[in-house]
């Protein structure tokens, strides 16, 4: 079964303790350019809702993820890590700039030539 472009496993998209975050599983983006593109194409309202949901659980997320080595992380935990990386990507847009694009920042294409 696929949901938001992500393969759903028997146990679900995310670890059981974080099932409430599954509506945001589309933020489980494996690449930095993909996370930047998602931030830039989202609305501030969408970024804010994701930010608020993740920040409420962030300490628990970090505590949970610290139980696994990066190279042997189960798929649901890896998705949660990717969502945490997306939170990092949207945080400046939400906290400081109040818009999806970073003011006075470089164009994404300059960071990732050929993409």
> pLDDT category, 9, cuts 50, 70, 90?
very low
Number of separate domains in the chain? 1
- Residue 1 in domain: no
The span from the CA of 58 to the CA of 38, in Å, is 20
Q: Which domain holds residue 68?
A: 13-103
Residue 7 has a CB neighbour count (10 Å cut-off) of 10
- Residue 115 in domain: no
- Residue 99 in domain: yes
Give the pLDDT confidence of 12-21 residue by residue, as tens digits.
899 999 999 9
- Residue 45 in domain: yes
Radius of gyration over every alpha carbon of the chain, rounded to an integer in angstroms? 14
- Residue 64 in domain: yes
Query: Average per-residue pLDDT in the chain?
Result: 87
- Residue 39 in domain: yes
Whether 2 has a pLDDT exceeding 50, the answer reads no
- Residue 6 in domain: no
- Residue 58 in domain: yes
Which residues 6+ apart lie within 8 Å of 79 measured at CB?
A: 6, 13, 14, 25, 28
pTM of the model: 0.83
Give the pLDDT confidence of 69-87 residue by residue, as tens digits.
999 999 999 999 999 999 9
Arithmetic mean of pLDDT, 93-108: 79
């Amino acid at each position: 079964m696929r949901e938001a472009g992500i393969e759903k496993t028997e146990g679900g998209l995310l670890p059981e303790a974080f099932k409430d975050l599954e509506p945001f599983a589309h933020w489980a983006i494996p690449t930095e350019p993909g996370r930047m593109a998602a931030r830039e194409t989202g609305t501030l309202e969408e970024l804010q809702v994701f930010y608020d949901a993740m920040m409420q659980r962030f300490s628990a997320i970090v505590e949970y993820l610290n139980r696994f080595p990066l190279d042997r992380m189960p798929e649901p935990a890896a998705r949660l890590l990717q969502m945490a990386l997306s939170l990092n990507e949207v945080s400046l847009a939400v906290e400081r700039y109040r818009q999806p694009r970073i003011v006075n920042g470089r164009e994404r294409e300059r960071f990732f030539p050929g993409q």
